[in-house]
Structures are given as structure tokens and as C-alpha cells.
Homo-oligomer: A and B are copies of this chain.
Amino acid sequence: MDFNKVLELLKQKGYKITKQRRIILEALYNSIKPISIEEWLQVTKVQNPNINLSTIYRNISVLEDVGLLNKIRPKDGNIIYSLNLQEEHSHFLICKKCGKAESIECCLSEEFKKIIDDKEFDLIEHNLELYGYCKDCCDKKNHK
């Protein structure tokens, strides 16, 4: 996704594009990996040393609201952030009774990468299928 598209999405939600906001967004946009708040602050300070931590926190809320923020929580250590720029790919909820497959939009790539972090394995794709009972079959059969 183009950076201007990112700004566009913010504007569509009624957010103004201030100098600080632009710098903060660019910092994350240009980062090749998810970063912590502190790293994020350091990078923004390169462009404008006066930018405040609280401003970054407030822009985190904005990005969450727009749905562009990926938050990753390593088991140990602080939260790291990245922009969610990719097209979403689907997984399915498959009913064991009626076979209905419902698409869900979630991408677990980051979680997977974390899990195999120590495996020296270059993760490219994943396939995930979730099996259970859909609402209709739950109601009928009292599976819950």
C-alpha cells in the first residue's frame, strides 16, 4: 500500500495530517520490521527531536481505529508495532456437521514467525483450517 493511501485512510476517518503525525507514520511505514515504542520514538526524533512519547501513543490509538496497526506481543518483552498494509488472506471455519465453511479474515503470519523464531526456518506460507460446530448446528445439537 502506498504511503499516500495510508494518509488518505486517516483523512477519510476525519483525522488531520499534522507534521508530527506524518513523521510518526512514515517512521513505522519505512521500518522493515516491527518496532517497539522506544525504537519508534528514536526514529521519529531523527526527523523532529521535539516529538513526544505521548503523541506516539495517541497516534497508536488513531492507527488502531483505522485498522492499520499490527500489535505483536512477544512472550517476553514489550509490544512491537507494524503497519498492516497487506491485503488480507482468508482462513476458514469449517463446520464438522454441516460442512459449511465460513471465511474469516485474520492473518497469523506474525504469530507463526514468532513461534518458529528459533527454528532457522524461512516461513513463506501457511495453511490453517479451523474445525468445529457452526452456530446453526450448535443450536440444533446442543454441542456447547
Task: Report which A residues bind B (CB closer than 8 A).
Answer: 71, 73, 75, 93, 96, 102, 104, 106, 108, 111-112, 115-116, 119-135, 138, 143-144
Contacts and interface: CB of A to CB of B under 8 A. Distances in A.
Given A108-B108, A128-B128, A93 B121 contact: yes
Given A93-B121, A126-B129, 12 more contacts: A108-B115, A120-B135, A120-B138, A121-B132, A122-B132, A122-B133, A122-B144, A123-B131, A124-B132, A126-B128, A126-B130, A127-B131
A96 B124 contact: yes
Nearest to A104: B116
Given A102-B121, A104-B116, A138-B120, A128 B131 contact: no
